[in-house]
Every structure is written in C-alpha cells, then in structure tokens.
Structure 1
Amino acid sequence: MLHETVTGVLGSEPGVSVQELVRRGGAARVLLDESRDAQFLVVGSRGHGGFSGLLLGSVSAACAEHAHCPVLVIHGDTPPPPVSP
C-alpha cells in the first residue's frame, strides 16, 4: 500500500531519492526516532476546516516540536507539488 501511494504521488521514477519504511509503534514516537538519521521529515495534518483547521494534530505537533531534523507539515487539502519530467 505504501509503495502504491508513493508511486501514485511521485510517479514510477521520482526525481528524488525516496526510502519507504514501515515501522510498528505509536506514530509520533516512531517518526521522532526516525528523524534522528533523516535529512527531512514530511508529515500530514488532518484538516478540520475553519479555525480548527489551523491547528496541528498531536502527531504533527510533536514532530514539529521535537524532531531532530527539519519538518514540513502538509495539510490534507494541499495538492501535491508538480513532478518534474
């Protein structure tokens, strides 16, 4: 399922290096552990619309505050960036 999602967004030959990992555990803890060796962490944030849509979820907030690398939070209604040919 992960590979299908990555391929659906980036195409079969992405222009960037992508490492697909599946880990067991709480999402925030696993992502924070993985951030120790990462160059960049991208997480999603479920949008709720209106004012609450401006707030981060607990996982994205924990990552933004405690990650060991830069973090980009993508909201659910943000379209993916265009893929370069």
Structure 2
Amino acid sequence: MTGLDPELADATGKMLTQAVAEVVGDDPPVEVEESVVLGNAAEVLLERSCGAELLVVGSRGHGGFSGALLGSVGQHCVQHARCPVVVVRGSVS
C-alpha cells in the first residue's frame, strides 16, 4: 500500500483479516475480498464496486430514522455504487 507506513499497513491488514474471519469463519460460502487501501473511503469503495457482485458497508447505528442510520460514506455508497449494497449494523454490545 503506497503512502502508508509499512508497520501501520501490516497492523491494519491483520486487523482486517481477523475481523473478516470473525464474520465469515474459516470456510465462507462466498468469496470475500479484503484489502486495505489508502484514500477517500467513499471514492475507493465506489471504484471497487465496479465489477463487484456485492458491496457490504456498516451503518452508524445512531438515531431513529433512516437518514441518521447511515454515515456519509454508507449513504454515498448506497446511492452511487455500481453493484448491490448491503448495510449491516454492528452488535449493540
């Protein structure tokens, strides 16, 4: 990953791998691509949505109406992605 401290990139990659493993397990029923990319989150996700079968983003989970449930990145992806988008809410704990 260009432009990011190698130690930070390594640590971030390990955190991502662990998070994905916790969600999908050792033998996921679908192919999961994970990557750490330096850049504007919304722009990078939209770029990656081209050719993807599905984009999964997290919700903010705050507020009581739909406009407040998504952060700006999730909202932008839902509106502009080139593939279906699934919004998942984290655990309440």
TM-score range (shorter-chain normalised) is 0.7 to 0.9
Task: Give the RMSD, CA atoms, in angstroms.
Answer: 2.0
Per the alignment, residue 76 of structure 1 pairs with 90
Query: Of the two structures, which has the highest relative contact order with CA contacts closer than 8 Å and spacing of 6 or more?
Result: 1
Higher helix share: 2
The alignment's TM-score, normalised by the length of structure 1, stands at 0.78
Unaligned residue ranges in structure 1 (runs of 5+): 79-85
**CA 1:77–1:49: 2 relative to 1, 3 Å:** farther
**Partner letter of residue 10 of structure 1?**
V
The alignment's TM-score, normalised by the length of structure 2, stands at 0.72
Unaligned residue ranges in structure 2 (runs of 5+): 1-14
Aligned length: 78
Greater shift, 47-56 or 59-68, is seen at: 47-56
Give percent identity, aligned residues only.
56
